[in-house]
Amino acid sequence: MNNSKTIPEIKGHWLLGSLRQFKADPFLAMCDWQRERGDIAAFKLAGRQCYLISNSKWVENTLIKHSDVFVKMYDPLKPKGLALILGNGLVTSQGDLWRRQRRLMQPVFQRSNLSSMMPKMVSAGENMLTRWQQLEDGAQVNLSDEMMRLTLEVITQTMFSTSVLDNVDSISPALETGLRYALKSASNPLTPPLWIPTPANRKFNQACAILDKIIYDMIEQRRQHSASNHDLLDMLLHASDEKTGQHMSNQQIRDEVITIFTAGHETTANLLTWTLYLLAKHPVILKKLRSELEFLNGKTPTAENIQQLDYSRAVLNESLRFKPPVGMLMRKVNSDIEIEGYHFKSGSLVIYSIYNIHHNKKLWTDPEQFQPERFLTKENYRFSFLPFGTGERICIGNHFAMLESQLLLSMVIQQYDIQLITDKEVEIDLAVSLRPKGGIPVLLKRL
């Protein structure tokens, strides 16, 4: 006799399940399903069994206690999701390869090494502010585009000692196309194979070709110049297997470069965009943040200064909670398992809604209020605050992203007031990352 409890189910079409609703707006679909069915829900995407997780308890039960069952989706023979654009890089790889690559790259992202990258971060910030100074006071810009450009310069300069700003107008659309297609591929079993020349497939292949050319050119230029830059690209080029002594192939280097390239600028750009947007909507919090920075007298903070900026850190953490740049995680169930009476089928897809978890009333007091002060307490949010993931697969660049964001945020708000053009709430667009739909038009007012 089967004593398994039934996971609350989202009713859908007899054949397509909930595919139409999820495809139309995955963000709204997941919010609706949590309201309708609670912290764990079952649904179908075409013929595929899926589960939606919206509570920290189930994050711990699956990602931590049973990480050997709830695994990344990468299959080198049939890549899906992010693997289509990132290949077999750090975010998508598994097992021994993942452990080797993580071990190799970890030193670059250690806190002790990050302060040496600050001059390049500062330079990128100063270049943007200089460009803003050349605009008339009160000029209108798209905040999302500005932050994408800024963080793209930071990640390429710090990790690869180069600039790709000349290609920024092609890189950002290519990444957006790639990430949007990746989400569709992972969640929609009816997505045609890439070799079928549908309009969507052609657009995706063109986007990948743009990114590949930029990255392979970067690798080739470095190979031709023997001077050491002591950056991540150097480390990847010179790394060798402990047993065989074999160096990484160009393909593997490409996969790691595009992984850091994508994760290192897309998410931080969204963090800075949402933070500046939220500060513009909450002038009292902005005033308190500026008062914390008064001791700098308009100067750029040093690494030591940043350690003192507790409220700045709290503002960014609350922004990460309120509008998490990574809106969801996905895992595949690789064998049947029963947890607390609930049965998860082998081959099914588990979607963790970071946004739902960050706005769950069972986990947070007044979750719909933007309150940085909640992060000034000693409250433990271990599995309910997941902007960088959790467990052994936690984002390798979390400290890098926070240092970069604190530094650049302090530079911007000491010189500019970011004013919203409309009071209308900005809609959320989920394409793996949680971005503002259509960007955010703002006015740049000098202080």
- CATH code of the domain containing 427: 1.10.630.10
pLDDT in tens, 77-127: 677 888 899 999 999 888 888 888 898 888 889 888 899 999 999 999 999
Kindly state the percentage of the chain with pLDDT values over 90.
70
14 domain residue, yes or no? no
Range of the domain at 113: 19-446
Residue 2's pLDDT is 61
* Largest Cα–Cα separation, the chain: 74
Residue 230's pLDDT is 84
239 domain residue, yes or no? yes
Alpha-carbon distance 380 to 183, whole Å? 31
pLDDT in tens, 56-75: 999 999 999 999 999 987 67
- Our count of domains for the chain comes to 1
The residue-averaged pLDDT of 272-291 equals 98
328 domain residue, yes or no? yes
Beta-carbon contacts of residue 418 (< 8 Å; ≥ 6 apart): 143, 276, 277, 279, 280, 412, 442, 443, 444, 445
Give the global pTM: 0.94
Residue 262 backbone dihedrals phi, psi, to 5 degrees: -75, -55
Residue 245's pLDDT is 78
Residue 319's pLDDT is 98
pLDDT for 226 beyond 80: no
46 domain residue, yes or no? yes
pLDDT in tens, 29-64: 999 999 999 999 999 998 899 999 999 999 999 999
The CA-to-CA distance between both ends of the chain, in Å, stands at 71
1 domain residue, yes or no? no
pLDDT for 254 beyond 90: yes
Pick the range with the lowest mean pLDDT from 9-18, 214-223, 243-252, 341-350: 243-252
Q: Return the SS3 of 59.
A: helix
pLDDT in tens, 169-217: 888 889 889 988 988 888 888 889 899 999 999 999 999 999 999 999 9
Classify residue 366 by its DSSP letter.
S
Instruction: Read off the pLDDT band of 76 (50, 70, 90).
Output: low
pLDDT for 134 beyond 90: yes
pLDDT in tens, 10-32: 999 999 999 999 999 999 999 99
2 domain residue, yes or no? no
C-alpha dihedral sign at 110, 127, 301, 382: negative
C-alpha dihedral sign at 114, 119, 123, 126: positive
**Do the Cβ atoms of 18 and 159 come closer than 8 Å?**
no
6 domain residue, yes or no? no
Kindly state the percentage of the chain with pLDDT values over 70.
98
Distances (CA, A) of 303 to 291, 318, 410: 19, 22, 12
The residue-averaged pLDDT of 234-241 equals 84
pLDDT in tens, 354-378: 999 999 999 999 999 999 999 999 8
pLDDT for 1 beyond 50: no
Alpha-carbon distance 276 to 419, whole Å? 9
Residue 391's pLDDT is 87
- 393 vs 293 pLDDT, higher one: 293
Mean pLDDT for all residues in the chain: 92
Alpha-carbon distance 117 to 103, whole Å? 20
